[in-house]
Amino acid sequence: MINDAVRLPDPHTRGFRFALEDSFNQIGTVQVQQKQSLTKHRTELTKMQGRLLNRYLGGTIDEPTYQANQPTSNHNSLYPIRPLTRRLSCSCC
């Protein structure tokens, strides 16, 4: 029994383990890139909203134009699709 516990895995098991580790590393990389992209997008959106407000307050644009360009609470660029981790957690979602 002790010999079975110390036994090295066969090549198929090792190959599967390496493939699985590589897949999880790739998922982690994608998640980091996605988070950076969303952070950049939110920052750009905040700056755009600030410029829009400044133009409205400065009289460069009128109220209907300002209101038309203001995002609503369910605006897609403020609330992106579900995070990658939730989408990868199971195949049923």
* pLDDT tens digits in sequence order for the chain, 93 residues long: 455 565 656 877 888 888 889 999 999 999 999 999 999 999 998 999 899 999 999 999 898 888 888 875 445 544 454 554 454 444 554
Residue 57: what pLDDT? 92
Q: How far apart are CA 53 and CA 46, in angstroms?
A: 11
Q: Note whether 52 and 58 are within 8 A (CB).
A: no
Domain ranges of the chain: 11-64
Residue type for position 54: N
What predicted TM-score, i.e. pTM, was given to this entire model? 0.53
Residue 84: what pLDDT? 46
Residue 93: what pLDDT? 45
- The count of other CB atoms within 10 Å of the CB of residue 45 is 14
